[in-house]
Amino acid sequence: MKIIVSKNILDKFPETIIGVIIVKGLNNEKHNEEITKLLREVEEKTRNENANLESTSSHPNIISWRQAYKEFGADPHAYRCSSEALLKRVVKRQELWQINKLVDLYNYISLKYMTPVGGEDLDKVQGDIYLDFAKGDEQFIRLGGEENEPPLSGEVVYKDDVGVMCRRWNWREADRTKLSEETKNSILVIEGLSPMTLEKVEEATKELEELVKKFCGGQTAYKILHKEDAELSF
């Protein structure tokens, strides 16, 4: 199995950096009070650091994502990248939903570094994983949904042999490959566009890897994908 960032994506968005963590044999059952504490702390820190922010769209790390969305035809006013959605909720003084340990941990990292983070259940993935432009005929059923909502042609998506796993790069996950308490093997991705650097993406990736090992166990490995090295076999 592989994850591949397509040449087409890297030609269009050459600054793309993706931290990939593979976790095998993990335990994602039950919630954890220490993780809850981490979330509450990062929420408060984020509110304080962005107290004078004119709007979530003016955050330096969000600006580049909004521009990328425009470039592949998604209106960033209607569709926000995942990190902006988290920031918007937190600055309104709303707590993040707690889903399961893996999701809670990657939301913590997403807020701390203000960059999109996501994940999939590897046992539900079929074939290789590609970050690529959609053809427009792929199957996609959103998290909690029942109807097929295929992507638009040219939309940035994660997909496998069956269909799309995440639409509009990091806007909405598919129900088919979602992380659940039953998940035993997972792939996690930390996504960076400028001003996020390779070093910062690797810092966030290593921190998430350590947190997953601490709270979920299992065997982990990571790699940073970028223009010069855009593929990982696992």
Which residue shows structure tokens 């650097």?
197
Which amino acid, one-letter code, is at 186? S
Alpha carbons 115 and 81: distance in angstroms, whole number: 9
Average pLDDT of the segment spanning 206-227: 98
- pLDDT 10s digits, 72-86: 999 999 999 999 999
| Domain ranges, ordered by start, for the chain | 2-233
In this structure, CATH architecture of domain 2-233: 3-Layer(bba) Sandwich (3.50)
Contacts of 201 (CB under 8 A, 6+ apart): 17, 18, 19, 115, 190, 191, 192, 224
- pLDDT 10s digits, 192-213: 999 999 999 999 999 999 999 9
Which amino acid, one-letter code, is at 213? K
- pLDDT 10s digits, 79-130: 999 999 999 999 999 999 999 999 999 999 999 999 999 999 999 999 999 9
Alpha carbons 6 and 18: distance in angstroms, whole number: 12
pLDDT at 103: 98
pLDDT mean across residues, the chain = 97
